[in-house]
Amino acid sequence: MQKTIKLLRENGELRIVDEALDIYLEIPHLAYAEVKKKDGGQAILFTNVVDKKSGKKFEEPVLMNVFGSYKRCELLFGRTVESVADEITKLLHMRPPEGFFNKVSMAKELFSLKNIFPKKLKGKGACQELEFLGEDVDLGMLPVLTTWEQDAGPFITMGQVYTQSLDGEMVNLGMYRLQVHDKNHLGMHWQIHKDSSHFFDQYQKAGKKMPVSIAIGGNPLYTWCATAPLPYGVNELLMYGLITKKPAQLVKSLTTPLYIPEDVDYVIEGWVDTSEVKIEGPFGDHTGYYTLAEPYPVLEVSAITMKKKRTFLATVVGKPPLEDKYMGWATGKIFFPLLKTTVPDLIDYHMPENAGFHNLILAKMQPLYKGHAKQFMHAFWGAGQMSFVKHAIFVDEKAPSLENYDSFTTYVLNRFTPKSLFITEGILDALDHSSPETLVGGKLGVDATAANRIEPPQLLGDEELLFKVQELLPEVSTLHQFMRRTANPITVIALEKKRAVKEYFDALLPLSNNLRIVVFVDTKANDVYNPYMLIWRVTNNIDALRDIFVSGLVVGVDGTNKNQLDGFTREWPDDVDCTSSVIETLRAKSLWDLPENLLTKYQL
């Protein structure tokens, strides 16, 4: 971490805040604003960290937003992200060489791979300079942040969670949020589809406690590796060796059999009783909504070790854009070659930041036969973490860049018809709140690989269309039409919902000649002129099986919050919002410098 701080400072990527700030809301709110700035702002080092509630002043600083720009990602990788992807591609396509010189060249390449395997050291590491065991264990020693007002408590957000299978043959490094329940208990939010959860099942069936070691800090690449979507059973620290050409140096935990990198800043060790669970959450998550309180396993902490000179690494999650935008960019680039082994005709893919990654994927492919795009959809929805994707739009090789949103959207809308839609059901991320039941819900695919011809509607101006719509639907407050130059303009309608949206859609059908795609949102908390946040809202809020309506050439999308009017019986979570008084406090200290237009645009 000291090397990282030095690297960031030398490259003008570090903001240092010496003002005393609270671990409750103040520090995370300022980091949340920083990453919203152009190019992700700067990493922030908080050097004067306090807990106003207890009156405690922490020795260590807190570092945030370390991955929060493209430049910082590549600084931390020490090389271009594309070069890592190229190396993976080369490994995947390695064939037996012909000729002496080719054999010598391959031998060198294979010999270099010895450095990707983690190396176990004897003795203790720098991470164990200070030891706290038994009664001395107290998670309150760590400056764990409380990010949002409705959070159930402090959460560790950049923890490297090390686990192993029951037989010890497989190890896993993952990243899961970790709620501090009390001085020696942590909530383990490993979701049912994750590797650690699979290991948990093994220990549970055997009636044994499960060892866990959690590291914080060290080389930031350990933290990125914890998010890497590697196949089940593959040690994520292999990626560290592949990127750095140096093996991760590991030491054994004091009270568990697990090995952790010797240079991390903190290690929290403990055991999970597989017969017990405890309510975890709510927590303001990367969806931009609070995830609901649910039962999850609990870690009883047996030891805490740390460096004498240490830095606490943390992140903040909420409404986009955030640090995970840049971490996800690196992940997408690096693991593209692995995805192509499942779908070889894939040319490119992209997950827009404002759709929360899993909520929307854009993909370019080489269609070879009728129905090829639908085959791709099935492949995507069955491939590792891609199986969590809710909505996918597929285009052919002639389409513009997936990241040129205006050109891409124009291309799709000029060839879209309702028959382009493909709706099915599949697994969902545990954080999804919109489906009628947890973990399973609707999936929406759009096949825009075929150039369908369609007559555009008879366009009206916003004011004239609003007048006609309000004659049919008095609950409508405002509307705005996007992409009017295309064959399928998108009309966003804000209303005060008093009945199921399907009834509103049906009532609008007399205006079919003037409409093509109609998106309904609640008047409250939505701006019909803000496409960035509308995409965030709608992709979060819809379940394709329930919320897509079709009549002739008109498609309706229900992006409203769901309630009993929709037959929705689950609890609907609140948006993640900043606490106004905290913003004012930071402004008074001349620390909050986010331009007002960005505060409004990102609906903070």
150-159, 328-337, 459-468: least confidently modelled range: 328-337
DSSP letters for 331-367: HHHHHHHHHHHH-TTEEEEE--GGGTTTT-EEEEE--
Pick the residue with more confidence: 465 or 451?
465
- Average of per-residue pLDDT across 233-258: 92
The pLDDT, as a whole number, for residue 455 is 87
- Average of per-residue pLDDT across 356-382: 88
Dump pLDDT digits (tens) for 190-233.
876 667 788 889 999 999 999 999 999 999 999 999 988 877 77
Question: What DSSP character marks residue 86?
Answer: H
121-135, 186-200, 301-315: least confidently modelled range: 186-200
Pick the residue with more confidence: 230 or 320?
320
Q: How many residues does the chain have?
A: 604
Pick the residue with more confidence: 576 or 341?
576
Residue 450, token pair as written in the block = 């075929």
Pairing mode, strands 210-216 and 266-280: antiparallel
Q: In angstroms, how far is CA 345 from the centroid of its own chain?
A: 26
Contact 188, 297 (CB under 8 A): yes
Q: Report which of 183, 247, 251, 245 is spatially closest to residue 215, judged by C-alpha positions.
A: 251
95 pLDDT tier (thresholds 50, 70, 90): low
CA distance 517 to 354: 20
The pLDDT, as a whole number, for residue 109 is 52
Q: Has residue 356 got a pLDDT over 70?
A: yes
Residue 427, token pair as written in the block = 């697994």
- Average of per-residue pLDDT across 170-183: 94
The pLDDT, as a whole number, for residue 384 is 73
Residue 267, token pair as written in the block = 């290690």
Dump pLDDT digits (tens) for 568-597.
999 999 999 999 999 999 999 999 999 999
The pLDDT, as a whole number, for residue 386 is 81
pTM of the predicted model as reported, rounded to 2 decimal places: 0.92
CA distance 248 to 173: 13
The pLDDT, as a whole number, for residue 452 is 87
Q: How many CB atoms lie within 10 A of CB 499?
A: 11
The pLDDT, as a whole number, for residue 101 is 47
- Average of per-residue pLDDT across 400-414: 96
Angle, vertex CA 211, rays to CA 198 and CA 165, nearest 5:
35
The pLDDT, as a whole number, for residue 106 is 41
Residue 583: enclosing H or E segment and its boundaries? helix 580-588
Q: What is the dihedral of CA 272, 277, 279, 282, to 10 degrees?
A: 50
- Average of per-residue pLDDT across 500-508: 97
Q: What domains, with CATH codes, occur in the chain?
A: 2-78+117-314 (2.30.110.10), 343-448 (3.40.1670.10), 462-566 (3.40.1670.10)
CA distance 428 to 74: 31
Question: What DSSP character marks residue 140?
Answer: G
Q: Percent of the chain having pLDDT more than 90?
A: 78
Please provide the distance, in angstroms rounded to a whole number, between the alpha carbons at the two ends of the chain.
30
The pLDDT, as a whole number, for residue 112 is 55
User: Which residues, 6 or more positions from 587, have their beta carbon under 8 angstroms from its beta carbon?
Assistant: none
CA distance 321 to 216: 24
81 pLDDT tier (thresholds 50, 70, 90): confident
Contact 528, 521 (CB under 8 A): yes
21-30, 133-142, 265-274, 430-439: least confidently modelled range: 430-439
- Average of per-residue pLDDT across 421-442: 92
400 pLDDT tier (thresholds 50, 70, 90): very high
387 pLDDT tier (thresholds 50, 70, 90): confident
User: Which residues, 6 or more positions from 295, have their beta carbon under 8 angstroms from its beta carbon?
Assistant: 277, 278, 279, 280
- Average of per-residue pLDDT across 46-64: 97
User: Which residues, 6 or more positions from 374, have their beta carbon under 8 angstroms from its beta carbon?
Assistant: 422, 445, 447
Task: Give the start-end residues of each E strand in 113-197.
Answer: 119-120, 130-133, 155-156, 160-164, 171-174, 178-182, 185-188
Q: Has residue 111 got a pLDDT over 80?
A: no
59-63, 198-202, 212-216, 598-602: least confidently modelled range: 198-202
Q: Has residue 103 got a pLDDT over 80?
A: no
Please compute Rg for the chain using Cα positions. Answer: 25
The pLDDT, as a whole number, for residue 107 is 47
Question: What DSSP character marks residue 510?
Answer: G
CA distance 123 to 212: 20
Q: Has residue 129 got a pLDDT over 60?
A: yes
Q: How many CA atoms lie within 13 A of 119 on its CB side?
A: 14
The pLDDT, as a whole number, for residue 104 is 47
Q: What is the dihedral of CA 471, 475, 477, 479, to 10 degrees?
A: -60
CA distance 271 to 518: 52
CA distance 189 to 285: 12
- Average of per-residue pLDDT across 501-530: 97
The pLDDT, as a whole number, for residue 338 is 78
Pick the residue with more confidence: 374 or 264?
264
Q: Has residue 337 got a pLDDT over 90?
A: no
Pick the residue with more confidence: 340 or 17?
17
**Token match 């645009």: residue?**
601
DSSP letters for 257-320: S-EEETT-SEEEEEEEEEEEEEEE--EE-TTSBEEPPEEEEEEEEEEEEE-SS--EEE---SSS
The pLDDT, as a whole number, for residue 113 is 67
CA distance 145 to 63: 12
Residue 50, token pair as written in the block = 């306090």
The pLDDT, as a whole number, for residue 90 is 73
Inter-residue long-range contacts of 73-82, CB under 8 Å, 24+ positions, other chains counted: 73/326, 73/327, 73/329, 73/330, 75/7, 75/8, 75/11, 75/13, 76/4, 76/7, 76/220, 76/221, 76/224, 77/221, 77/243, 77/330, 78/243, 78/244, 79/243, 81/329, 81/330, 81/333, 81/334, 82/333
